[in-house]
Structure 1
Amino acid sequence: MNRTGLFIALGLALVIGLLFGIYPELDLKLAALFYDPATKSFPIKLDAVAEFARDAAMWIAWAFALPAIVAFVVKLARPHRPMLIPGRAAIFLLVTIILSAGILTNFTFKSYWGRPRPVMVTEFNGPWQFVPWWDPRGACGKNCSFFSGEGATAFWTYAPAALTPPAWRPLAYAAATLFGITTSVLRMAFGGHFFTDVAAAGLVSFLVIWLAYAFIYRWPATRMTDAQVDAGLARLASAWSRLTRRWRPLG
């Protein structure tokens, strides 16, 4: 999570955004690689192995987040016990997955950016007109194409990769990149997303993780310690416990 990675991500965002903004038909050409005109469908959708791989990818990603979720819940239930994992790591993992795979994807863009999925556009036997990535005025009303939630979740594995020992970190980043690309290609093969949907997912996840890492670990003005996080969560849990006791009916 250094400046080189940030510059690469911003450069990719600029190139992909401009290229597919000027030539939006590239999205259709890439999606067509997975489409069968004879059956008028994306045939891999019927493949049980591919369906299992799609589900497994999400299980794997959330498995990396599970220790942070458990640590947070246990800390709230037992405020005076130490965190099960380092406090900064727990906050970093939870904040980044909630933002990248939840709020920014499903509760923001996919709910208000009306871009139809490939299976929904007329070029692939769907009912609606194709729109480029930058146009939110598509006919899709909810759970739309831009940008990919599963792609964002897969690329979120950059977050646990950032917490590996420095000697292992390049390999962890490479594995996270491969995992994100494989999951994204699978979503394209299902007709669920265009290339720009999954590219945006990866770039947004990376930028969220880069900023969160800098905020928690790097920038002196905001840098935290594990002890500070542990103490803050303990105070929060204690305050919540006192508040809920007041709400309980007298017996």
Structure 2
Amino acid sequence: MPTDTARPATTTPRLFIVVLALSVAAALVPTIWPTADLALAALFTGTPPLIDSKEWWWVLGINLYVPALFRVGLALCFVAWLVVTFGKGWKAWRLPLAFVVVAGIMGPGVVVNAVFKEHWQRARPYQVEHFGGEQQFTRATLITDQCNNNCSFVSGHVACGFFFATLLLVHRRRQKTWALVGTGAGLVIGFARMSDVAHWFSDVLWAYPITLITSWLVWQGLVHAYRWRDVHTSSART
């Protein structure tokens, strides 16, 4: 994944723009027609549910371990960044590793969990009246008061999966691969979260553009920061 940090690419890949546009378009569908959220959530409820996947081994594994594994991955990348930053070799990995660490913290961490989940206060499927709870169902993107903490909009688990698509920003030679891996991972994790009746379909879909935009902003900031540092380092040596 190495990128030339002295001359990092500053133009946004066309594929990134396409993926972002498609992700927003897809997320708008259950937002404009919220009955889609209810209909899809109903597939995983009932006795027995039409799709009885909650206890599948890989669904259980995703629901239990994805956030922890993601944090471990970020920690390892941070250690690797320290090594290549203060060591003598592998300098081309500085920007990609910094991107993974900072964007991983800011996207699935701060923006998704600390901003959206805590302030949009959307009730999870199992909490609403339609599925045996006491709270009201509300459409995606609407700020409400139906949940106190760790709420439904958007899915933090899913954001961890979609995050892999943002690696196309720093690994241009494998853009399509990262787009496919990230999209696939996010959707598979989304299925697991919906199986647990913990998220709406719109929670899954909106996690994608939110993660993409946050990562793009981080990437832009890092590119300019590294360019500024390299220019001033070169000037100091001359």
- TM-score, scaled to structure 2: 0.77
**Paired residue for 2:164?**
157
Q: Pick one of 190, 198, 205 that aligns with 2:196.
A: 190
**Paired residue for 1:54?**
63
Q: Verify: 1:98 aligned to 2:105, yes or no.
A: yes
Structure 2: how far apart are the matches of 1:15 and 1:102?
23
**Paired residue for 1:224?**
226
Alpha carbons 1:114, 1:140 under 8 Å: kept: yes
* Structure 1 residue ranges without an equivalent (≥5): 232-251
Alpha carbons 1:122, 1:128 under 8 Å: kept: yes
Deviation at 1:198, TM superposition (A): 1.0
Alpha carbons 1:161, 1:176 under 8 Å: kept: no
Q: Tell me: CA distance 1:228–1:192, structure 2 relative to 1, closer, same or farther (3 Å).
A: farther
Alpha carbons 1:34, 1:188 under 8 Å: kept: yes
Q: Tell me: CA distance 1:215–1:147, structure 2 relative to 1, closer, same or farther (3 Å).
A: same
Percent identical = 23
Q: Verify: 1:68 aligned to 2:73, yes or no.
A: no
Q: Verify: 1:210 aligned to 2:210, yes or no.
A: no
Larger Rg: 1
**Paired residue for 1:118?**
125
Q: Pick one of 10, 13, 16 that aligns with 1:5.
A: 16
Q: Tell me: CA distance 1:214–1:130, structure 2 relative to 1, closer, same or farther (3 Å).
A: same
Q: Which amino acid aligns with 1:69?
A: F
Structure 1: how far apart are the matches of 2:164 and 2:175?
12
Q: Pick one of 199, 202, 207 that aligns with 1:201.
A: 207
Alpha carbons 2:158, 2:189 under 8 Å: kept: yes
CA deviation map 1:48-69 (0-9, x unaligned): 4421233454455445434421
Structure 1: how far apart are the matches of 2:54 and 2:131?
14
Q: Verify: 1:181 aligned to 2:187, yes or no.
A: yes
Q: Tell me: CA distance 1:6–1:80, structure 2 relative to 1, closer, same or farther (3 Å).
A: closer
**Paired residue for 1:25?**
35
Q: Verify: 1:169 aligned to 2:175, yes or no.
A: yes
Structure 2: how far apart are the matches of 1:102 and 1:142?
15
RMSD over equivalenced CA pairs, Å:
3.1
CA deviation map 1:37-84 (0-9, x unaligned): 225898533444421233454455445434421134558xxx854476
Deviation at 1:22, TM superposition (A): 3.0
Q: Verify: 1:131 aligned to 2:138, yes or no.
A: yes
Higher mean C-alpha deviation, range 150-159 or range 47-56: 47-56
Highest RCO, 1 vs 2 (Cα 8 Å, sep ≥ 6): 2
Alpha carbons 1:61, 1:156 under 8 Å: kept: no
Q: Tell me: CA distance 1:123–1:135, structure 2 relative to 1, closer, same or farther (3 Å).
A: same
- Aligned length, in residue pairs: 220
Q: Secondary structure in 2 aligned to 1:45?
A: coil
